[in-house]
Every structure is written in structure tokens, then in C-alpha cells.
Structure 1
């Protein structure tokens, strides 16, 4: 099995090397468009990264799993073009984005919608698809309501508001006396209040709290209920950030959606064996993605 995976990675690398890769700018957004060689009017997938200052490879300042880069390589090897981009804040905050304290979650949605429209207007592609990873799944759910697409893929995407999810994650990690003030502060921020000073362990400056509130309060279930096109939802059993209930809730919100549960896959879409292996994978950019996940996404996007 390992030899087969190694061969697939080699083939993907060769295909990526031969692909037509170009840098594009759409408004203030820097992106990378990769088109498979010899495929007239291929389908295209807009890849939307997860939370943080994440670049077009799926890397942040501290964690570098290269999730989007690896996904792009595998999709291009299967005849699917990709567009991946630097989120606001990746590599520093550009003046074109305005003041950081004026950021709202809708700005992420605006960016994704503008990229969808760019791909649609280019006329280069047979079908337009969106693949959102983690928080990128929420961005995708909101963006496709404004800019219609053909198919939607959600990878390791939460069904709960981000504020509620963060509270659940921290409550599992922290002793009750440390969690209590943090949980209350998150509730206050979600209610539109400014928490000054924020409690120890919640490093959200008062000036940035309105922007965080806009992210904390978006409801993926409400957005999911409005999706009308074909949707594929994939999640993993070794994802320490999201339990299976999130997959089930998203699927229940759209009974027409397809879903796939991969027992060994973690949050950055690789197979791991235990918690130590999971932690290590967040800084292993050459580690292969779950092959079943890749095949499922490629088949779903390519299906007529």
C-alpha cells in the first residue's frame, strides 16, 4: 500500500510540474491558478483554506501542513484545475484590506465570491466547484449563496458556530477554573460586548473583538439549509477538533448531500495513528493526504 501511495504522489508531482501554473490577482487577493496539461476546458475547484493567516498552500505562520498545495497537486493530476489563494493576513496585512480592526467575517466571504465570479467569467472551465476546508467550509457555504457554482465540497467543516466550537474545544483542554472566565468572555464577545481586558488564555485585543464576533456568530446549519446544489461532506475519525456529530448535523441539514466518514483521517486530511502522530502531521508538508478522500473529491467534481 505504501508503494502505491508513493507512486501516486510521484505521478501527482510530475503532473503538477507539467501543469500550467500562474499567479493571478483578483482585487487585492493573490492567488495561484493551476491548469492540468492537455485537458480542454477542465472542471475547476476553488480551494478555500481554514482559519488563521493561511496562505495558498494551506500554511500559516506556525503550522505548515501544506494541505491545499497537496490537494491541488492531486486534483490537477486527475484533470481538475484549481485556484487557491492567500487569505487576508497571510504574509502580513495589506493596506488594500483597510484597517485590521474593521475586518468582518463577510470580508472572507466577499473574497471567495469574487474569486468564484473570476473563474466563471474566464470561460476556461467546464464546471465550477468550491472546496472548503475547516473554516473555509463555512466561507464556502456563505459564498456560494451569492455566487452560484456547480458542486460544493466541505472538508472537516464544523456544524456549530465558531464561538460555540471554540468553547467546546477549550472546555476539554482546560481545568474548570481557567475555562470559566474564558467561556464567559467568548459569550460576551458573541453578544456584542467588548471584553477589556480579555482573560488570560484568550488573546483577542478589544479592537479586534467586533471582527471576531462576526466570525463567532455565523451559523453553518442555517447556511447549509440554503444549499440547493450537489454537496459532498467529508470528515475524519482522528480529527481532534471536530467530533462526528458535526458531520451528522451538516448532513441532516441537507438530506440530499453525500457524506463520507474516514476513520483514520485527521483535521489536516492525513491518516494518523495516535495523538502524537496527529500533532506531528501539522508540520509535515510532504505527508500524503488520505487517498480515499482525494479519490472521493475528484470523482464528485468530475462526475457528469
Structure 2
């Protein structure tokens, strides 16, 4: 009966925990929301990094709002964890009308931004532990940014291969007749060169503006980077992720044997619960009302309590 009482008490505190959301600007390209729980103790802080593309602090892109990162930040704040989510540099520059600057970003700029955010909050000395949690592309950014200093790392739906192999494998499954051309294009980029793409089917991948970005990204291998970590690490993925499969999570675990691996049943790439239906899976990417899976929140919360 005593154990039941404490369980009910803990459940009630979690359900009704309050938090404050405040916009924080760190520099001209980094602005986001800080979710601060109402607690008398120093909370842990999770810096949440978004995935690929022009993704904002809530996990949304133009025409594709799902609020995945917003929901995750809110749920963690309800569990007495502070969270900072910020717009990617691409989004910040586009909001400022700096289109040319937005298209000349390198992958290293994203790493620099994550390091800047980490340094900012470390200097404040308001938090017990500071953790970087990276989603998708943000996983690779985070595992590099936290290597110099940081308390823990969380990979959420993070790829295990360099971007050239990831894209080549995707093309091989969807359009195998394009695989050889894609491989040849990436070989050129890996040598630091650019080229004129003459195949309209590959324009979204290899257009002239994005080639320098791919060149800066291609040299990072997630398995090599996560192997460098000496801090507590949690690797998360879902069985319904149609972008980054559970095999990637397993490979990251092999590269970093001390990490904790958790596979969440029925969770897709944007952290929502779906069934086998592929149509339903894609539909969640534009559903800002559908909540994220509670199992994800629970897994992160339990991990944070062990730090």
C-alpha cells in the first residue's frame, strides 16, 4: 500500500508540474525557447537539436508542421527537466531575409551553433547537468559538439552512416537505376569539387547551392564520432521510422558499447505512434496536434535521473 501511495504521488506531481517558457536569444543566428520547470532544485538542462532541413525550434518546416520538438520539450519540462530548443541557423537567416547567407551555410556552422549554446548555458551555472539531445541530423551535430565538454548525450533517430552512404542506400531502394550516378557524384564532392548536375531527377539532392554543404557534411561518420564519447549516452529509435531504421541505432550502439540502447515500438521518425500503414506514417509529418509517444519521454526522463 505504501509503494502504491508513492506511485500515485509521483504520477500526480508529473501530471501537474508547471513550467515557464521564455524566448532566449544567444546571438544573431541563435534564438529559441527555454522551458524552465518550477522546482526548488537545480534542474538538468537538455539542449534539443533539430533534424535536417530548415527546421525551427518546434521541429517544423514550412508546410510540414508536426510540433515534435515542442511536444518533447513540454513533456520533459513537466518532468522537472529544463529544455532549450532553437531555430536552426538556416531558419534564423531566412527570417532575417538573408537568403544568400542561408544558402551558403556549412555543416560545421551547425556544430558551432550547438557548441555556442552549450557554452552559454554552462557559463550561467544554473543547471545540475547539461545534456545535448540530437534528433536525426541533430544527432551527429550533437555528438560532435559535446565531445569537448558536456555531461551526457542522447541520440534520437540518428543515422549511423555518413550522408553519402545514407542517401546512396535510400536511392538504391527507391530508384536503383540511379545508384551508380549518385555514387559518382558523391565521389566528386568528397574530393572537394563541385559539378553541374544534368539529371533533373537528382536536382533536389545535387543542385549547385547545396553541393558545398554536402561536401562539408560528407566527411563526418556518426559511428566514428559516437565512439569518441566518454560520457553517459542514450540511443533511441522507433520501429516505425521509415527514414532512419533501427539498424542504425544498433550500429551506433556497436560503435559505443557503453551506451544504452532503447528501441520504442511503433514510434516513427517524428516521435509519433503509428501502425503499419505507410500513408498514416507520412500523414503524421503534417499533423501538429498528434502528441509524441510517452514511452520516449519516459525513457529520457529515467536516463536523466541516473546522471
TM-score by length of 1: 0.89
Q: What CA distance in whole angstroms lies between the structure 1 residues aligned with 2:112 and 2:151?
A: 19
Corresponding position: 1:251 with 2:253: yes
Mapping 1:170-189, distance limit 5 Å: 170-174=171-175, 176-189=176-189
Which residue of the partner structure matches residue 284 of structure 2?
Answer: 281
Look up the match of 1:295: 298
Distance apart, 1:257 and its partner CA: 0.4
Of 212, 215, 226, the residue aligned with 1:213 is 215
Residues 1:239 and 2:241 aligned together? yes
Distance in 2 (CA, whole Å) between partners of 1:279 and 1:100 is 27
Deviation at 1:98, TM superposition (A): 7.8
Gaps of 5+ in 2: 1-10
SS at match of 1:206: coil
Where 1:115 maps in the other structure, the secondary structure is helix
**Within 2, Cα distance between the matches of 1:159 and 1:77?**
31
* Alignment correspondent of 1:120: 122
> Given that residues 34 and 76 in structure 1 are in contact (C-alpha distance below 8 angstroms), is that contact kept between their aligned partners in structure 2?
yes
Question: Where does structure 1 differ by over 4 angstroms across 4 or more consecutive aligned residues?
Answer: 94-98
Quick one: distance in 2 between partners of 1:178 and 1:223?
A: 29
Q: 1:95 to 1:153 in 2, by over 3 A?
A: same
Q: For 1:276 and 1:98, locate their aligned partners in 2 and report how far apart those are by CA, in whole Å.
A: 36
- The secondary structure found in structure 1 opposite 2:201 is coil
Query: How has the CA–CA distance of structure 1 residues 98 and 42 changed in structure 2, closer, same or farther, with 3 Å as cutoff?
Result: farther
Aligned to 1:3: none
Q: Distance in 2 between matches of 1:133 and 1:199?
A: 31
Alpha-carbon deviations, 1:115-160, whole Å to 9, x = none?
Answer: 01111111211111111100000000110013x1111110000110
User: Match of 2:5?
Assistant: none
The match for 2:224 among 222, 225, 230 is 222
| CA distance in structure 1 between the partners assigned to 2:209 and 2:280 by the alignment | 37
State the 1:209 CA deviation.
1.1
Q: CA RMSD in A?
A: 2.1
TM superposition shift of 1:190? 3.0
C-alpha offsets along residues 24-60 of structure 1, whole Å, 9 cap, x if unaligned?
1112211111101134311110000000001000101
For residue 62 of structure 1, what is the aligned residue in structure 2? 63
Matches of 1:134 and 1:255, distance apart in 2: 20
Kept in 2: contact 1:163–1:217 (CA 8 A): no
Find out whether 1:142 has 2:144 as its counterpart.
yes
